[in-house]
Amino acid sequence: MPSKRSVIDKKNILITGGAGFIGSHLCDALVRDHHVICMDNFSTSTVANIEHLLQNSNFEFINHDITQPFDLASYSELERFKIKFQGIQEIYHLATPISKRHFEDFKIATVLTNSIGTKNVLDVAVANHSKVLYASSSVLYGPRRTDRPHVSETDPCTLDHLTPRGAYDEGKRFSESILETYADVYGLDVKISRIFRVYGPRMKIFDGNLLPDMINNAIDGTDIELTSPEDAKISLAYVSDVVDGLVRHMNTPVDVTVVNLGSDQEHFLSSVASMITKLCDSASRIRFEPSASGWTEAGLPDISKARQVLGWLPLVRLEDGLRQMIDYSRSKRRESGTFSE
Q: Among 199, 242, 223, 226, which Cα is nearest to 329's? A: 199
The amino acid sitting at 290 is P
CB 82 within 8 A of CB 8: yes
**What CA–CA distances, in Å, run from 195 to 32, 109, 116, 198, 238?**
24, 21, 22, 8, 11
Q: Among 116, 135, 151, which Cα is nearest to 193's? A: 135
Instruction: Tell the burial category of 69 from Cβ atoms under 10 Å away from its Cβ (0-12, 13-18, 19+).
Output: exposed
- Distance in angstroms (rounded) separating the CA atoms of residues 41 and 30: 20
**What CA–CA distances, in Å, run from 121 to 19, 140, 181?**
17, 21, 14
- Distance in angstroms (rounded) separating the CA atoms of residues 214 and 216: 5
Q: How far is C-alpha 198 from the geometric centre of its chain's CA atoms?
A: 7
**Would you call 199 a catalytic residue per the annotation?**
no
CB 309 within 8 A of CB 187: no
Q: Longest Cα pair distance anywhere in the chain, in angstroms?
A: 61
Backbone angles phi and psi of 19, in degrees to 5: -95, 5
SS3 of residue 238 by DSSP: strand
- Distance in angstroms (rounded) separating the CA atoms of residues 144 and 135: 21
The single residue of 134, 141, 168, 199 carrying the catalytic annotation is 168
The amino acid sitting at 145 is R
Helix, strand, coil content of the chain in percent (nearest 5): 40, 15, 40
Catalytically active residues, by annotation: 168
